[in-house]
Structure formats: structure tokens, C-alpha cells
């Protein structure tokens, strides 16, 4: 029999912030690998555009307008997704926002709280609801599930003037390890992805900056910006049976930037 561990037919994957950037790069790959997909995003038009781009792939697509910082909204959306799709096998917490300041000493408390509410609280709420569903499923004999958080290279590096963002991206790493240890008995895995410099809306200002491209992107060993499509493979792997014994790990996808 052919080796087909990356065939996601019959599985359902939910991606927060899945209507653009890295999130959509993952959604597109998951769908092409056969998974039905659930896209969470806070912008209804971007959700509709993402759904339109997936219409010819041949899988079921559900889009939901969700603010992951809203605990009640997350619980309601997860329940609706399970009801409409029948199950959720993979949840990727990718939704996130930036938010820096001219200097740390001038960092606005309002910005700090806003970044934490999406990048940390949102991950917590999303995975708590996902675990409720997956643990309940396991109790009925249907074990398994994959939880993935999109962290950042800034969790390991000095992100000057971005202390709030870096703090949230660092905080989710031990959260995932704790989830991994607690939920392994249910066959649920929990892993983290740490992107480097990726060409998305969040980095649009830097992409056209010659000085930045020369000094920063110029020292990426791969000599280019990362692209959302570069995250399709890892998403499919972590959603697939090929990663059934892989949990509590961190995947740094940065074109070699951190080792140079």
C-alpha cells in the first residue's frame, strides 16, 4: 500500500487569522492536502476573499468572523465550527497583531494590553476550547488532535521597541509545552512555529525599505524574505498522521537567520 501520511482527507483544520498572510498560506496547503478548513478572521471581506480563492480545491470551507481576544466569541465560534463541520482535528492559533513604540520607556499601556489580548489571551482561549472538544472526543474513543501556535523569531531575539509583541510570542512557547504534556494521554499533540522575516501585511513597511533589506534581509542565509507559502509544508506535517509522535517541539522557519 502506498505511503500516504500527508493525506488529510477526512480531517478538519481550523486556522485563526487564516484569511491572509502566513495563516492563508497554511489554509491553502491544508485544503490542497485534502482537509476541510475553518477560517477565523476579524474581517468579513477578507474571509470571503479567502473562501473564494479556495472554491476550486474541492473541500468544505467554513469562514467565521471571530475576535480571538473575546472569550465568549471564541467559545461560540468553536462550538459552531464543530457543529457544522462535525469535528475539528487541527487548530492553528495564528491570529496576531503587532504593536510597538518609539522606545520601551514610552511604550503605551494601552498598546501593551491590546497586543496581549490578541497574541496571548487569544491563543489561550482558542486552545482551551479546542482541548474541550478533543478531550471529549477522546472520551468517546476518538483520540487524537493537533494544536499549533504561530509564535515568532522575536521570542528568542531582542525585538527592540516591540517588547509587548516579543513577550506574547515568548509566553506561548511554555504554554504549548504544558498543553503537550497534559494532553498527550489523549493523543493530542501541541507544537510551536517560529517564523522569521516573512513578507506579510505586518511587515509591509519594511519590505520596501532599502536599508532594511540590505542590513537585515541581506544577512538571511537564504537571501530572501520568507513567503506565506513557506509554511504550508509544516502545517500539513503537523496536521497529518506523520507527526503522531511529535509533540512539545518548536520549529524555527527563518531561512537560517538565527544561526548566522
> What does the pLDDT look like over 150-176, one tens digit per residue?
999 999 998 899 999 999 999 999 999
The answer to whether position 6 is within a domain reads: no
Query: What is residue 92's predicted lDDT score, i.e. its pLDDT?
Result: 99
The burial class, CB within 10 Å (0-12 / 13-18 / 19+), for 53 is middle
Report the catalytic residues. Answer: 165
Q: Find the domain containing 122 and state its range.
A: 12-252
Query: What is residue 167's predicted lDDT score, i.e. its pLDDT?
Result: 97
The answer to whether position 4 is within a domain reads: no
The answer to whether position 258 is within a domain reads: no
pLDDT cut 70: percent of the chain above it: 100
Indicate the number of domains in the chain: 1
Contact criterion met (CB below 8 Å) for 150 and 91: no
Confidence of residue 67 (pLDDT cuts 50, 70, 90): very high
Query: What is residue 3's predicted lDDT score, i.e. its pLDDT?
Result: 87
The answer to whether position 3 is within a domain reads: no
The answer to whether position 26 is within a domain reads: yes
Angle 93-95-98 (CA atoms, 0-180°, nearest 5)?
135
> What does the pLDDT look like over 12-29, one tens digit per residue?
999 999 999 999 999 999
Q: What is the mean pLDDT of residues 201-223?
A: 92
Shortest CA distance to 145 belongs to which of 186, 179, 177? 186
Query: What is residue 148's predicted lDDT score, i.e. its pLDDT?
Result: 99
The answer to whether position 185 is within a domain reads: yes
Confidence of residue 7 (pLDDT cuts 50, 70, 90): very high
Confidence of residue 57 (pLDDT cuts 50, 70, 90): very high
Greater model confidence, 33 or 204: 33
Q: What is the CATH number of the domain that holds 146?
A: 3.40.50.720
The answer to whether position 196 is within a domain reads: yes
Q: CB within 8 A of 168, min separation 6: which ones?
A: 96, 115, 116, 119, 120
The answer to whether position 259 is within a domain reads: no
The CA-atom distances, in angstroms, between 249 and each of 24, 177, 202 are 22, 8, 25
Above 80 in pLDDT, residue 1? no
Q: What is the mean pLDDT of residues 236-254?
A: 98
Amino acid at each position: 500500500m502506498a505511503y500516504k501520511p500527508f493525506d488529510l482527507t477526512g480531517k478538519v483544520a481550523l486556522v485563526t487569522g487564516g484569511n491572509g498572510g502566513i495563516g492563508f498560506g497554511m489554509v491553502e496547503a491544508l485544503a490542497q492536502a485534502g482537509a476541510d478548513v475553518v477560517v477565523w478572521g476579524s474581517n468579513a471581506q477578507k474571509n470571503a476573499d479567502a473562501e473564494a480563492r479556495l472554491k476550486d480545491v474541492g473541500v468544505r470551507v467554513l469562514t467565521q468572523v471571530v475576535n480571538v481576544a473575546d472569550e465568549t466569541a471564541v467559545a461560540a465560534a468553536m462550538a459552531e465550527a464543530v457543529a457544522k463541520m462535525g469535528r475539528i482535528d487541527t487548530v492553528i492559533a495564528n491570529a496576531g497583531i503587532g504593536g510597538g513604540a518609539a522606545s520601551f520607556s514610552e511604550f503605551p499601556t494601552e498598546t501593551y494590553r491590546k497586543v496581549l489580548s490578541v497574541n496571548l489571551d487569544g491563543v489561550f482561549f482558542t486552545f482551551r476550547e479546542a482541548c474541550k472538544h478533543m478531550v471529549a472526543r477522546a472520551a468517546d474513543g476518538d483520540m487524537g488532535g493537533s494544536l499549533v501556535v504561530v509564535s515568532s523569531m522575536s521570542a528568542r531575539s531582542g525585538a527592540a521597541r516591540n517588547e509587548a509583541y516579543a513577550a506574547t510570542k515568548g509566553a506561548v512557547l511554555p504554554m504549548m509545552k504544558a498543553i503537550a504534556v497534559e494532553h498527550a494521554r489523549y493523543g493530542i499533540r501541541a507544537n510551536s512555529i517560529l517564523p522569521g522575516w516573512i513578507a506579510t501585511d505586518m511587515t509591509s513597511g519594511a519590505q520596501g525599505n532599502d536599508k532594511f533589506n540590505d542590513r537585515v534581509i541581506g544577512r538571511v542565509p537564504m537571501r530572501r524574505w520568507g513567503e506565506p507559502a513557506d509554511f504550508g509544508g509544516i502545517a500539513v506535517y503537523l496536521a497529518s498522521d506523520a507527526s503522531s509522535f511529535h509533540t512539545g517541539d518548536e520549529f524555527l522557519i527563518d531561512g537560517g537567520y538565527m544561526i548566522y
